[in-house]
Structures are given as C-alpha cells and as structure tokens.
Amino acid sequence: MTRREQGTGSVYEDPKRVGRWVGEVSVNGKRRRVSGTSKADVSRKLRALTAKRDTGQLVADRSATVAQALAEFLERDLPNRDLAPKTLELYNWTARLIVAEIGAVRLADLTVDRIEAMLDRLATREQAPLSRSSLTKVRGTLQRSIAFAERRGKAIRNPATAATITPLAARSQPRQALGPDDARTLLAALREERDGLMFALSLRLGLRPGEAAALYWHDVDNGVVNVVRGLRRDRGRPVIVDEVKTKGSRRTIELPADLADWLADHRRRQLAERIAAPTWADDRIVFPSRAGTVTDPTKARRRLAKICVEAGVTVVRPNELRHSCASLLSDAGVPLELIADLLGHASTDMLDRTYRHRLRPSIDVAARATWAD
C-alpha cells in the first residue's frame, strides 16, 4: 500500500459501512473527517481541506448557523460602525426576519436556492408582504453577516451574493413632489387646519414627518426650529426619542416670518384647547393629539390625504412634502448644497438621487440659454 505524504491525511475503507471510504486530516489543530463512495472521492475532499489550510485560509466551522452568524454580526461588527439609530433598527428588523425563516440552517448547508426561497416567501406572504426595496435590505443584512462569518473562519462561501429577488416582488411606489401651484394651494388649505403647521414645516423647511411630530415647544424659540428629536415605534406605539436619523439631521433652521406668525397662532389655539380639555398628557409637544399625546403617523397620513383631496391638489404622503420642499427650492435656483443643509443631509448625493424631482413639464434650459445670440 502506498503511504500518503505527511500532512495530507489518511484514507481508509469504512469498517462499518460497505462501499464507503473515510478520510481524516488535521486542519487548524482539529481533526477533520470526510467520507465518500470511493477512495478518489475522499482524496479529492481531503485535498480541498488541505488547500484551504496551506494557503492560510480558515476552514468553516460546520456547526455554525445563520442565527449565530447574525448574532455575532449584530453584537461585534455593527457597534464598531458609526451608524444612525434608524439604520441600527433596520439591521435588527431584517435580522429578526431572517432568523425566523432560516435561522436554524447551518452556514455550511446554506445555498442560493434556500435564500431565494426565503425571499420569495417574504415577498408573497399574506400579512404585510415585503416590497423589493425591503427584500434588498434583508438580503444585504444576510450577505454582510455571512461575510463577517467568513472572516472569522465560520463560512467558506457567501451564497447571499448570488441570490436574486423574485420579479413578482412589489416595487415601492415612486415618490412624487408638488409643483408650485399645488404647493401654494395646499399651504392655504393647511392654514385652516388644527395641525396644518406640522405639514407646512415639512413642505417649507424639509422636516421629516417624525421630526415635525416630535418637536417640543422649547425647540421652536427665538424664531428658529431646533431639530434634535424624532419619532420611533415602541410596541406599535409612537414615542418621542432624543435621537435623529443621522448626525447631520441635528440642525437649526431659521423660520420664515409667515411661519413664525403661524406658530404664534398655533400656540394660542393649543393653549385654549388644553384649558378646555379634561386631561392633557404632555404640554411640551407642539403637535399633539387632542388628548395631548404623541401624534400617530398613520392618522396624520390619512388626514393629509383628506386635506389634499378637499383642496383639489395631488394627494401626497407626509414624507413627499419633504421631497416637494427640495424640488421647489431646486427649481427656484437654490444651490443643492444649501438644500442638503436644510434637509439634514451630509452631502448632495441622496438629494440628487432621491429627493429632487423635475417639476417643469418641459426642459427649457436650452431655450433660455443666450450663448448663441
């Protein structure tokens, strides 16, 4: 019998199973065992293991599961990144979805087909099916967690990089923006509403809906708005937190004179409402419910839609008022850098790709140019 070269392991017939061969080799201080239907098959598997060892690559821990990889990624990798609270919340949400679907699957057994089957289930489930955008975030979290596991020797491949999203997945509704005429009409209609100023701050100053709803009275003093808080859902209920989406979201915005007057009127009306109310939960909130509690975003969205219909303008969602603000200012010639500062963006990239919409029905820049005169 030919003796195998030292370090390449040993191959022998399985004494307990007829027609099976077994191979053993030491890798990273651990004895690894493989099996196959022929000596050649087992030798090939041993060569693959020793090739990983000899090139300095770690061999996967075959007991590691998807849930374990996600837990280590969330506990050891994410805290080292400078991420906004909203981003961390998104990672945790997608991780919970993945664990519920394939958490018990071992990384060594995870395949592209298995990942795509999970994405298909999430896209077609009866309760709250995920859109293409959300599925992309789920796949991204899984991909990053497996990449982290690879660097720690607990995976030797990352099938999430090859997984595709089903064409049947619902696409997110494209954002839209109000033109100047509709925006002016809506502003006039909002002036007569109880909390119309909350929507007006998004349309005129570019506040996120959660930033406007989370304002305290001491945040709107001396003619400025200090954006330092936001909304978060806690067990389904909206709560105000001392956090904003990103570091750049903390900003101080000067109020236009007409909005400052509107705010003073709003304060007087709210004071009268608080005096007349039997109970009032929190007198710090600028835009509370009629009981003084935090405004529910779902109810606010429905109210805005109703106002738009009654005013005869395009129905927009609260966040699209922010899009409208960016688009109207850009159309008026305000530099993108200044608009980015107003909206709380660190650069103009997101503004240019997502928030700025073309408002004019035709592109007239060539017609207005005078260089050929």
Strand partners, 25: 32
DSSP 248: G
Please report where in the chains the tokens 């529910």 appear, as a residue: 296
Helix axes 196-205 and 297-311, enclosed angle (nearest 10): 80
What is the per-residue pLDDT for 1? 44
| 140: enclosing H helix or E strand | helix 132-151
Q: Is 65 strand, coil or helix?
A: strand
Distance in Å from the first CA to the final CA of the chain: 94
Q: What are phi and psi of 23, to 5 degrees?
A: -130, 145
CB 64 within 8 A of CB 107: yes
Average pLDDT for 286-302: 94
What is the per-residue pLDDT for 4? 58
Nearest to residue 197, comparing CAs of 231, 225, 232? 225
pLDDT, mean over the chain? 86
CB 185 within 8 A of CB 312: yes
Q: Give dist(CA 112, CA 197) in Å, integer.
A: 50
Residues 6 or more apart whose CB falls under 8 angstroms from that of 313 comprise: 178, 182, 185, 186, 189
What is the per-residue pLDDT for 360? 58
Residue 149 pLDDT > 60: yes
pLDDT tier at 93 (50, 70, 90 boundaries)? Answer: very high
pLDDT tier at 174 (50, 70, 90 boundaries)? Answer: confident
Average pLDDT for 113-120: 95
pLDDT tier at 315 (50, 70, 90 boundaries)? Answer: very high
Strand partners, 237: 234
Q: Is 27 strand, coil or helix?
A: strand
What is the per-residue pLDDT for 193? 95
Predicted model pTM: 0.66
What is the per-residue pLDDT for 75? 95
Q: Which of 131-145, 227-241, 350-364 has the weakest average pLDDT? A: 350-364
Q: What is the pLDDT of residues 183-202, one digit of tens each?
A: 999 999 999 999 999 999 99
Helix axes 112-124 and 85-102, enclosed angle (nearest 10): 110
Alpha carbon distances (Å) from 116 to 112, 119, 120, 136, 256: 6, 5, 6, 11, 51
Angle at 293 between CA 289 and CA 298, to 5 degrees: 60
What is the per-residue pLDDT for 354? 67
Q: Is 275 strand, coil or helix?
A: helix
CB 130 within 8 A of CB 166: no
From the number of C-beta atoms within 10 Å of its C-beta (0-12, 13-18, 19+), residue 16 rates as exposed
Q: Give dist(CA 210, CA 230) in Å, integer.
A: 5
